[in-house]
Structure 1
């Protein structure tokens, strides 16, 4: 049963453990005393103050609660009250702790955990990231299954590949809102075959590969909608499926998208850890475009960490990797969007983050003027986001009129795209322009974009 989203995490904890407020607070008080913090009152009114009146518990009370639920002090610091309580809900234990084997992957694929909508929340600690990368590198691949259900061949995987290709392009055009449910449907269909059908080793690995891509798409759509906890669940599921598929290239793609989430959620070092894991055995990555994407993600992570030298070094490595890539129709179908234009957009975004608006504009221009340009017709969501960053670069150079002109292009590019990231980007642009309301064109734009 889905937990109502309006519930405070503490109420959810009590409900799942069948505890009254008084009984729970007595446990907290006992732990508080056992930790050497002294006596703590445990009248049930205290819980109401914490959950309904917005009162933050004293530091020692938070530490007692964390100890009661085996939550690390570092995570108390990282997430704060009351968000660190979400770690005690155990919605993610199956995806984090199941064996890295085909049976473990199927168990994760059929899990219905993660019911609480934890927007902006990351479920994987630094130690969980490290453990996941190590286990992915040694994951047991799928073997033939011949003793259950009807037998399926590689034709089933071929059909899933076609459907997933269509979903990738739909995501470019209409955004994550509509594509997420379709990706979950594909994942359920694939999972049903993996769980109930017979197949050869080759077919099994192909099906796990399709599951990895469907879960990656679901993770990307969740991220685009601002649902970070759900996104990490899907990315971790995808990484597991890529291990069962014995396909390190698919896993590297997932790690690149997961890194995007981490650095944009305020954890650039975690993002770099994921990228390093993907590149640890780059010889097994079959696509130069995937390698280029990984270096581009590393550049953005370094820029978010305020490390310009490392960021530009990674930009150079991204272009160098791309220069070895074959024509798009000879590379992975999922990498159609990686080209010179995309890499220049990444370079521009990195420059903007590093406080170099002039260098950012040079790369935004190169992204469109290059012989291998960024495709604004295909990439509606990305076009809106990059245009908003271009407007921000103009603002950084004091070019207010140019920023407003590009701002109108942002609104035009957003039409019909369901994407929280795009909406957030426009909000940030409006906030940047708000200090220039003495300019009539700015006032008109802010009224139009409201």
Structure 2
């Protein structure tokens, strides 16, 4: 069903008619709409609409359905990325004082829980975190309903909503619910607009770039990445470095070496300026370990395996123990990189190190990635290191089969 609904495979008309009967879809809807648009849950996701606090509030009212959205592919209609960028860019360039506010502000309690939710998502991810965040979104929405959308308190609460949507979006992507992830990100982008927080909006665009790039839509991803970088030209250096590396990574995926390396040079300059400079709390994770990992991803995509190998060793050494899921992800990258260097034994060793952490975690993305990298080693399955890996990872391999 997922392959049919995503458009990867289109069922014949007889199969569609049988499905329409099961779903109680009228025959006239089936004949009037192309596949998969007649499906009850298959409508495309559109981004048009007035970008106002009131409109954002109405979208928040409907956000409860996102917990039921379990499709494992993106559903943004063709051309939606361009519409999203055009409408977002039309709202002006003001960036708020992200460290301002008083202890009496109505959003203070929500802000105080954000670090805990970020840490929880970093450590575990998955549906459990999404439930916590959805409760916070419901409470924030009710508070907006009671107090109104305007004033400093309303703007500050909308900024909290934007960050909550980012956390929920990554939790959704981590569990393979990509359609829900993109909806959270777009809702967060609107909330950031309602809160006057252009930096947070740019961060949400950055999140969407990876979602689209991994879904085979790198040109749409590049459009969003460029917009995020352009919007933060006068932002904190840590934010600029983070967004510039993401744009560089999309260029690397597209095989555009010169553009990628030019942007990596700009990111390196920005990272050198971060010491002592304030930045939003959500950007603090982009430290030396994360920077090295993202630059490594660029070189891995470009085929510069010796460079990426050095960077992945560095990020593994620097990665905080609290970011276990990211550590696993970069261990999987390191395993693939070793394979590309012609070292299947080392690749198997890197994979073996991730097995217990993947089994104890909740990341669907890491489980899927593990299976993909293990398939690269199939021609070397008789090596003792690979046989040992398969024995240790029997349940993971069965999951990915």
TM-score, normalised by the number of residues in structure 1: 0.75
CA contact 2:48–2:84 (8 Å) conserved in 1: no
1:263 shift after superposition: 0.9
Match of 1:374 in 2: 319
Q: For the Cα contact (< 8 Å) 1:408–1:445, is it kept in 2?
A: yes
Q: 1:115 to 1:198 in 2, by over 3 A?
A: closer
Cα separation, 1, equivalents of 2:148 and 2:36 = 43
Q: 1:166 aligns with which of 97, 107, 116?
A: 116
Deviation at 1:250, TM superposition (A): 0.8
For the pair shown, which has the larger CA radius of gyration, 1 or 2? 1
1:281 offset after TM fit, Å? 3.0
Among 255, 265, 288, the alignment partner of 1:316 is 265
Quote the residue 1:147 is aligned against: none
Kindly indicate whether the alpha-carbon contact (under 8 Å) linking 1:262 and 1:271 is maintained by their aligned counterparts in 2: yes
Q: Name the residue aligned to 2:178.
A: 228
**Superposed displacement of residue 205, structure 1:** 0.5
Matched, 1:406 2:350: yes
Q: Distance in 2 between matches of 1:367 and 1:18?
A: 52
Aligned residues: 373
Judge conservation of contact 1:91–1:113 (CA < 8 Å) in 2.
Answer: no
Deviation (angstroms), 1:101: 0.5
Task: Select between 195-204 and 300-309 the one with higher mean Cα deviation.
Answer: 195-204
Partner of 2:72: 120
Unaligned runs of 5+ in 1: 29-67, 72-81, 142-151
**CA–CA separation in structure 1 for the residues paired with 2:322 and 2:304:** 28
Structure 2 distance, partners of 1:425, 1:306, is 21
Q: Does the alignment pair 1:179 with 2:123?
A: no
Change (3 A) 1:24 1:364: closer
Residues in 1 aligned to 2:329 and 2:241: alpha-carbon distance in whole angstroms = 21
- Taking the aligned partners of 2:136 and 2:319, their CA distance within structure 1 comes to 29
Aligned to 2:81: 129
What does residue 332 of structure 1 align with?
280
Aligned partner of 2:397 in structure 1 is none
In 2, the alpha carbon distance for the partners of 1:178 and 1:390 equals 28
Question: Deviation of residue 426 (structure 1)?
Answer: 1.1
Query: Where does residue 307 of structure 1 map in the other structure?
Result: 256
Q: How does 1:210-289 map to 2 (within 5 A)?
A: 210-283=160-233, 285=235, 287-289=236-238
Flag the 1:326–1:368 CA change in 2: closer, same or farther, 3 A: same
Could you tell me which runs of 5 or more consecutive residues in structure 2 were left unpaired when the two chains were aligned. Answer: 6-14, 94-101, 395-401
Which whole-Å CA distance do the structure 1 matches of 2:294 and 2:36 have between them? 32
1:122–1:228: 8 Å Cα contact kept in structure 2?
Answer: yes
For the Cα contact (< 8 Å) 2:293–2:312, is it kept in 1? yes
Q: Does 1:103 align with 2:54?
A: yes
Larger RCO: Structure 1 or Structure 2 (Cα < 8 Å, ≥ 6 residues apart)? 2
Structure 1 residue 98, shift from structure 2 partner: 3.2
Partner of residue 364 from structure 2, selected from 420, 439, 449:
420
Change (3 A) 1:114 1:83: farther
* Residues 1:374 and 1:11: Cα distance change in structure 2 (over 3 Å): farther
Residues 256-265 or 10-19, more deviating:
10-19
Q: 8 Å contact 2:44–2:76 — kept in the other structure?
A: no
User: 1:86 Cα deviation (Å)?
Assistant: 5.6
Match of 1:55 in 2: none
Between the aligned partners of 1:319 and 1:246, the Cα distance in structure 2 is 28
Partner of 1:344 in structure 2?
292
Partner deviation per Cα, 1:335-367 (whole Å, 9 max, x = no partner): 121122212111222222222322210211233
In 1, the alpha carbon distance for the partners of 2:341 and 2:379 equals 14
Distance 2:82 2:329 in 1: 31
Range with greater deviation from structure 2 (427-436 or 350-359): 350-359
Q: Distance in 1 between matches of 2:268 and 2:208?
A: 21
CA distance in structure 2 between the aligned counterparts of 1:102 and 1:223, rounded to whole angstroms:
26
State the Cα RMSD in Å: 3.0
- In structure 2, the partner of 1:396 is 340
